Amino acid sequence: MSDIKGFTTLPIILPPSNSTSVKASPVVHYAFFKKHSVPNSNDADLADRAARSLFFVNLPSDAGFNNTKKFFTTLVPGTIISSVLKKKLGVQEDFINFTKLTSEIASGEAESGKNLEDNLPNGTALVEFVDKKNMNNFVAQLKAIIPAHDAAKGENQLFCWPVDDVVGTKRYQQRLHQAYITETDKLQQYISQSLVNFTRKETAAQEALQAPVNLVDEDGFTLVVSSHRKTKQGILNAVNAAQSSKVQEEVKNKLKKKEKEDFYRYQIREKKKREMQDLLDKFKSDQARVEDMKSRKRFRPY
Amino acid sequence: MVKRTTSEEVSGHVAKKPVTSLADLESEDGSESQEELEDIIDPQTQSENDEEDAADVEAPVKKKRPTRKQLAAQDIQAARETAELFKSNIFKLQIDELLKEVKLKESSVVLIEKALHRLYDLIQQIPEVSDLSLDAATGMFDSKKLTVPFADPKPAGKPNYRFGYAPPLDVSLVGSFGLKTAIKTKKAASIDVALTMPESLFQAKDYLNYRGLYKRSFYVAYVAQHLIRLSRTHNFPIKVSYAYHNDDLLNVGLLIESINTANADDLVFHKTHLTIQVLVAFPEGVFDGKKLMPDRNCVRIQVPSTDDTPADLPATPLYNASILTSTYYAHYLKFLYKNKKQTDQFKDAAMLAQIWLNQRGFTSLTLDLGFGSFEFMMLMAVLSQGGAGEDSSSKPVLMRGFSSYQLFKGAIKYLATTDLCHGNHLSFTSGAQGNIMAGTAYTIPQGNGTPTMVDTHTKLNILWKMTPASYQTLQNAATKTLTLLNEVVVDRFAAVFLERVSIDYLNHDAIIKLPVAHIETDSFSAVEKITHLTWEKFLLNRVSTLLSKALGDRVLGISVTLDKHQAVFPLTKRKGTVSSNNLVIGLNLNGTECDKVLTRGPDSEELEAASEFKQFWGEKVSLRRFKDGSIQHSIIWLGKKEPVVMNITKYVLDRHLQAEISEHLSSDWELWQSMLPVLLLAGANSSATALTTNLQPFHQCRAAMEQLVKAVSEIPETASSSLPLRVRSILPATGVNAKYTALVPPVPFAVSNPDFFQELILQFETTARWPDELVALEKTKTAFLLAIMDALHAEEMYKCYMHKDSTIPAFSEIYTLCILTPEGYGFKLRVLTERDEVLYLRAVANSEKQKPRLQECYLKFNETYMASIKHSRTLTTLATHYAYFPAVVRLFKKWLDSQMLLSHFTDSFVELIALKPFVDCAPFNVPCSVQNGLFRILHFLAQWNWREDPLILDLIRRGSAGEDDVENDAVLIKLSDKLTLQSVLVITANFAKIRQADPHGLKTQFFIGTKDDPSGILWSQNITLPIASRLTALARAAVQLISEQLAPLGKDVLKMLFTPAYQDYDFIIRCKTFNMAVGSGISPPGAFKNLLVGSNSYPEDLVTKFDPIQEYVKELQQKFGNLVVFSNHKYTGLSEDGENVVAGLFNPNLANGKKRFKVNIGFNIKPVEGKDEVAMNKKAILNEMVRLGGDLVVKVEMKK
């Protein structure tokens, strides 16, 4: 198996599903890997972790820490991995921060750039090894045995993917149990705690807002804050919005509305003309519509 | 006004050259045609003609080329005029196009005129013969080649009248071709030519005892023989056969078809698809009209009684009318022609009328409706005569200056609103004014009312071929059309003129077939023979009279027809064999009456009426005392599972037509009803309506809901855990039970039913204290729900769960409260606050990159929390108004689920589609049976071109009293829920906008605009193109199957309709069977009812009873939804042995072909030959899916 764009192809034999009636040849899954290119980061810790990670494309979707570890150690004994970071394939489950989008209180609190997996594309994974040496050893050994696997025509048990997922009826009942909650203590606690946190944040924001109110600046002005205002950021947003062209336009329109429309004779004449034109336009558009229907053979009664 | 140029005038006249009689055609070279003459005599006609042209201004080809301004002025005038004279511009333009479309081809007309000339020439060459005895007359023909088509009874012995042939007095074109109102038809049309026999062949008394008819039969046979002979020598290859005119067995003529030959000299008119029908007419003035009035007897027979006088003989209206009709062909042609000249647009109106009649399958045939284009034209002509109707001083209904649309609508309105049947009639005179002889008043025959439109001049009842039943059919159709024509909001042109209505299975709620062979002809005596003429006609009359008496209010219309009859027969036969196999009874039911188990008769005191009632119904009658104190004779129809109407029909036919004839009745009615799931409810399945219109299970569920609402609303008063806010309202939302549309109606403790939990939306009183942030708001709501949960638990009656809700995409903080009520029903409580919408909209406004995703969130929120309440409310009203809507929507859901489509649609979408035939039923009736409802939905889906047309539904109750008044009252229109023109315009504009962005419907397919949802895509936004196309394709396949297999459908056909086509999918995962039927409250077919007991308590662990396959599909959807479209049956409990499958279709764009390797390619790949190329690893994907299924999967089939 040749490399693709610098990626090494790793064949993985999937266990035959118990339900396929005919014993078909084993199904082979293909993963692709290469050493993770180190992102330009000032964070020494991140750089270190990246340096001892392998970048995988298309690991099996149920790959977790346990079965990946098992699989790797079977392939190359002595391999020690410390974590598997994965972006799932499938329907995009992108995160929407409703808090940030609906409230000004939380703005500026979002954390970013702290994790290795943050910028992983869908369907890829980073497998972190215990150290760089271990990783290099793994890669070298693996590259050596893959051709042997290819020769064995898929009978090599080494490449068999270990499954450890709960599947079938049990899996779905578990999921249902998670969705239908009878023991509500935990939930209750979680909800109360979040609400307390929210109130705290809200009060903090309120205080921050009230602080400048009592301040008198050099010119003797104080800041006036409406009782509806909740955050400082809100004031800034409002100021920006008022300067936008849209609002100005609206004001202009308001003034225009007050003009009379049927005062001068020319206005009445124009209006009549316009009505006539409208009538004609409608007639023309009707004609066009009928013409269109005709071209679609709408008028064949049988 | 536009003046025609000279050249146009000439060409116009060539085209317009009228062929009103063959004699006109004779002088081909140059002589002025009649119209031209008249035009010269009557200059006014000419100028009116020009005005007509001015009205059709839109295609003025002019030499002068007027300035733009002038053109605009003309257009404005045309626009104004059409708005006044026609309904609207678009309507008028459509009429013009339609008329252009149906006009006979010019080349056909030329060809057929040539053929008519040739025919005329041949007829002139037929030699005369006279004074033949019966034997001599029949002896003239070689019996192997030709038999004289004598009517029954055949003349025998040595009658003293003589037969003969003399050249016809007159050969003229009659019927619509003669009037130039002929249009293209679907079936082969014929051109009527009437030969009038000379007076010399008749005696005044020949109208008696078939004598004149026999003479005509000989005449016809003689003409036929000579035509065949002459045609051979004159290059006119034709096939001649006998044909009954309008199925009237007394009136036989000839049908001439062209034979296609290779010889260039032959005159072949095969290509025109037209045939020529030669009618032989009696001369006018030979028979006395008075003697042939409908109350007279003209066939003297031996009546088996002792002291018979001629007066005792029954009247022979059909015989009399047949003779009169044969006498006045030419007369009525002239009458109509005169009218056409007087009324400019008569011709166009007549053509419109013919299209209307054709679409509804209405013809002049005696065994059919008896009302065809001739009758319609006569009606229009009569109505535009002054003095029509009872009151001779009344003004004409139709004015001469009316437009074609106005003429047509006026006639339709007259038909819809005037009863010409029961006592009332229309009389007119077709003779010249003042020609009415005194003392010839027309007597209307007594009896059960014949539709009457009588000509006092000829004494002919124009409507003689109609029966009260057929008149009712006509009137119903006219009423429906009138409503459509009155509609101002939506353009109804298609429903009036373009849609074919004569499709039996769409037109009737139920179709019952009765094989004629099983009915004994005993009751058809000599007397019946002279009054009804044929056994078939007699039978039709008898069955329809019986049924309309028996069914009364339960039906809106009954049509009884024969499925096959033969009007054309070869020359070697004396008569056509009317070989019908079946009597087809089509019923249109009255939704509110048809399922009543009680038939109320007369009061106990009305002795005479009571005895008649008893006489009719026999031993079923019993005296009953009612709540209001009255004691009445009545009948209860119980104990059978078949529909009440079917029960009555069988009983009455057995009792009055023939004992045990009901054994032979065939209908698929009961079969269709049994397609709906039978519920596991004690005592719920006994009545005939249990499966269809009985809403009892739903009512019980509603009662439980009201209890719960009360319990929740009263919580603040209880001390233990009070809510800080009072409950303002709790309203049903997306749940199907409150709307009566659940495929499996609610059964207590049936937790495996996928619709077990009914969503309710809870709203608290208004407060300003909700957190101004979405996540915190949801958490506050959860806190409230937790409080409610505690309070309900305190009462110990209710059992509650918190449910993690995933309705809103990417929002995982929403919880709902699931409540199990002690009655055995489940509800799911959601909280809606007045801040929600504001916050969602704010999120949309603040979003940048994620905008489409957030819009999706907002729409989903709107759908779940707000629109669903409105929709639910509307549906509840409509479901109770249209008795059969709940049953129909359930059957439709079952069909969708059997085809694995239901899981792709929202319930509301399915319901709106199913509402279409109910709220917008034109040109049919509101469905009143499950099968009719389903056919109509499928028919609609099959022809709905959703790429080009939106579906706009006016969700109001129709037919409520005083609707007509509303139309005229602007204030009431505003108040009513009816869609206004404005809202329709808004909806169409929305559709146009969507299609502009997405002309091929790749993103949005179905657009359903209603008053509740002008955006049109609320309920259909998540449907994908392959699913939409599949729905259309499957509906088309179903419609084709239904129309090929004539009703009644067999069990195997029904099964086929409800079987999914697995071969269309890329793979099928067959799942483990789960017996979900009992758990879902369905009684499995074939099980012993007494052994099955529904549960009466909740299971220990609720979730073990849920269908794991649905969860499995949900997960597959999450993981592989971008690669595969998954389909499965939503209701595992409905399949016979708990089988279910997951069928998948790979996205062809991703699955096929090689792709370049990319890190973020987004699906499972395998390397393939070629540099850096990969392809989808389907096997590995399937392996993963199957692995997830574990023990759920039994077998996997993959398409090669």
Tell me whether residues B839 and A198 touch, CB distance under 8 A.
no
- Strands laid side by side in the B1165-1167 sheet: B1155-1156, B1173-1176, B1165-1167
Confidence band for B938, pLDDT divided at 50, 70 and 90: very high
Of B88, B1161, B1167, the CB nearest to A1: B1167
Note the residue count of chain B. Answer: 1200
Residues 6+ apart with CB under 8 A from B765: B725, B726, B727, B728
Subunit contact B1163:A123, Cβ cutoff 8 A: yes
Fold of B1060-1198: Alpha-Beta Plaits (3.30.70)
Q: Identify the residue with better confidence: B402 or B1143.
A: B1143
What pLDDT is attached to residue B1032?
Answer: 92
Residue that wins the pLDDT comparison between A19 and A251: A251
The answer to whether A284 contacts B75, with C-beta atoms less than 8 Å apart, is yes
In this structure, the dihedral spanned by the alpha carbons of residues A215, A221, A225 and A230, taken in order and rounded to 10 degrees, is -50
| CA atoms of B406 and B782, how far apart (whole Å) | 64
Checking if the pLDDT of B627 tops 50, the result is: yes
Cα four-point dihedral sign B302, B308, B310, B311 = negative
Task: Read off the pLDDT of residues B513-526 as tens digits, 9 standing for 90 and up.
Answer: 888 777 777 666 77
Nearest chain B residue to A104 by CA: give it. B773
Tokens of B440: 């010839």
What band does A110 get if pLDDT is binned at 50, 70 and 90? Answer: very low
Contact B90 A290 (CB under 8 A): yes
Three-class secondary structure of residue B209 per DSSP: coil
Residue B44 confidence (pLDDT): 39
CA distance between the termini of chain A: 64
Q: Among A6-15, B420-429, B702-711, B772-781, which stretch is predicted with the lowest mean pLDDT?
A: B420-429
Strand, coil or helix: B1039: helix
d(CA A75, CA A69): 10
Burial class (CB in 10 A: 0-12, 13-18, 19+), B127: exposed
When pLDDT is cut at 50, 70 and 90, the band that residue B774 belongs to is: confident
Give the nearest partner residue to A19 out of B79, B782, B1186, using CB atoms.
Answer: B1186
pLDDT for residue B718: 54
How would residue B440 be classed by pLDDT, with cut points 50, 70 and 90? very low
Q: What is the 3-state secondary structure (H, E, C) of B806-828?
A: CCCCCCCCCEEEEEECCCCCEEE
CB B355 within 8 A of CB B413: no
Q: Among candidates B1191, B1194, B898, B1183, which has minimal Cα distance to B1070?
A: B1194
B456 contacts B443 by C-beta, under 8 angstroms: no
Q: Which residue of B has its CA nearest to A198?
A: B776
Asked whether the beta carbons of residue B1119 and residue A99 sit closer than 8 angstroms, the reply is no
- A217 to chain B, minimum CA–CA distance in Å? 31
Determine how β-strand B826-832 pairs with β-strand B757-764: parallel
Give the closest-approach CA distance of A60 to chain B in angstroms: 8
CA–CA separation, B544 and B558 (whole Å)? 7
Contacts of B789 in chain A (CB under 8 A): 184
Q: Which residues contact B471 (CB under 8 A, 6 or more apart)?
A: B371, B420, B421, B451, B463
DSSP B863: I
The 10s digit of each residue's pLDDT in B631-673 is 888 888 876 778 888 888 888 888 888 777 778 888 888 888 8
Question: Considering the domain B504-591, what is its CATH architecture?
Answer: 2-Layer Sandwich (3.30)
Which residue does chain B place closest to A6, by CA atoms? B1172
Q: Is B1101 left (phi over 0), alpha (psi -120 to 50) or beta?
A: beta
How would CATH label the architecture of B694-878? 2-Layer Sandwich (3.30)
Residue B14 has a pLDDT of 35
CATH no. of B103-287: 3.30.460
User: Given its phi and psi angles, is residue B389 left (phi above 0), alpha (psi -120 to 50 degrees) or beta?
Assistant: left
Arithmetic mean of pLDDT over chain B: 77
pLDDT tens digits, B845-899: 888 777 888 888 888 888 888 888 888 888 888 888 888 888 899 899 999 988 8
Tokens describing residue A184: 């509500």
The alpha carbon of residue A47 is apart from the nearest alpha carbon of chain B, in Å, by 21
Verify whether the Cβ–Cβ distance B774 to A98 is below 8 Å: yes
Partner residue facing A17 (CB), from B58, B847, B1193: B1193
Break chain B into its structural domains and give their ranges.
6-85, 103-287, 343-502, 504-591, 694-878, 883-1057, 1060-1198
The answer regarding whether domain B343-502 maps to CATH 3.40.50.1370 reads no
Give the burial string for B480-492 (b: 16+ CB within 10 Å, else e).
bbbbbbebebbbb
pLDDT tens for B1039-1063 read 998 888 876 788 888 888 888 888 8
Q: Under 8 Å CB-to-CB from B288, ≥6 apart: which residues?
A: B204, B207
Output the pLDDT for position B716: 61
- The confidence score (pLDDT) of residue A112 equals 47
| DSSP result, B412-432 | HHHHHH---SSS--EEE--S-
Q: What is the pLDDT of residue B47?
A: 38
Name the range with the highest mean pLDDT among A105-114, B304-313, B620-629: B620-629
8 Å CB contact of A230 and B1111 = no
B888 class by beta-carbon count within 10 Å (0-12 exposed, 13-18 middle, 19+ buried): buried
Nearest 10 degrees: Cα torsion A193, A194, A195, A200? 90
In whole angstroms, give the CA distance from residue B1139 to residue B1155.
38
Q: Which of B771, B806, B793, B659 is nearest to B720 (CA)?
A: B793
Classify B1156 as helix, strand or coil: strand
Cα distance between residue B713 and residue B557, in whole Å: 50
Nearest to B1166 among A30, A124, A279 (CB): A30
Residue B22 confidence (pLDDT) above 80: no
pLDDT of residue A153: 58
Tell me the CA distances in angstroms from B75 to B66, B82, B810, one per residue in order: 13, 10, 57
Can you tell me the distance from the alpha carbon of B439 to that of B241, in angstroms, rounded to the nearest whole number?
Answer: 43
**Tokens (6 digits) for B256:** 């001439």
User: What is the rounded CA–CA span in Å between residue B368 and residue B360?
Assistant: 12
- B94 contacts A290? CB cut-off 8 A: yes
* Separation between Cα atoms, residue B476 and residue B587, nearest integer Å: 13
- Give the number of residues written for chain A: 302
Check residue B1064 and give its pLDDT: 85
The beta strand positions in A68-174, using DSSP E, are 81-86, 124-129
- In this structure, the strands spanning A53-57 and B1165-1167 are unpaired
Question: Which residues of chain B make contact with A61, given a CB cutoff of 8 A?
Answer: 1119, 1164, 1184
- Confidence at residue A81, expressed as pLDDT on a 0 to 100 scale: 80
Comparing B689 with B1006, which gets the higher pLDDT? Answer: B1006
**pLDDT of amino acid A91:** 57
- Tens digit of pLDDT for each residue in B544-590? 888 888 888 888 888 888 776 667 777 777 777 666 678 888 888 88
Beta carbon pairs, A and B, within 8 Å: 257
Contact A293 B97 (CB under 8 A): yes
Please report the pLDDT score of residue A41 as a whole number.
62
Q: Is the peptide bond before B923 cis (omega within 30 degrees of 0)?
A: yes
Residue A163 burial by CB count (10 A; 0-12/13-18/19+): exposed, middle or buried? Answer: middle
pLDDT, one tens digit per residue, over B318-346 is 888 888 888 888 888 888 888 888 888 88
- What contacts A182, CB < 8 A, 6 or more positions away? B801, B802
Average pLDDT of span B732-760: 83
Contact yes or no for B1189 and A168 at CB 8 A:
yes
List chain B residues with CB under 8 Å of A293. 94, 97
Give the three-state DSSP class for A247: helix
Residue contact B1167–A4, C-beta within 8 A: yes
Which among B498, B810, B1182 has the least Cβ separation from residue A94?
B810
Contact across the interface for A191 and B783, Cβ inside 8 Å:
yes
Domain B103-287 and domain B694-878, same fold? Reply is yes
State whether A195 and B776 contact (CB < 8 Å): yes
- What pLDDT, on the 0 to 100 scale, is given for residue A108? 47
Read off the pLDDT band of B1116 (50, 70, 90).
Answer: confident
Identity of the residue in B58, B75, B801 whose CB atom sits nearest the CB atom of A280: B75
CB contact (8 A) between residue A194 and residue B1160: no
Whether the CB-CB separation of B466 and B371 falls below 8 Å is answered with: yes
- pLDDT of B12 > 70? The answer is no
- Cβ of A27 within 8 Å of Cβ of B1183? The answer is yes
Q: Please list every residue in chain A whose beta carbon sits closer than 8 Å to the beta carbon of residue B779.
A: 191, 194-195, 198
- How do B631-636 and B622-625 pair as beta strands? antiparallel
CA B25 – CA B389 distance, rounded (Å): 38
Angle B227-B231-B235 from CA coordinates, rounded to 5°: 165
Report the SS3 class of residue B369: coil
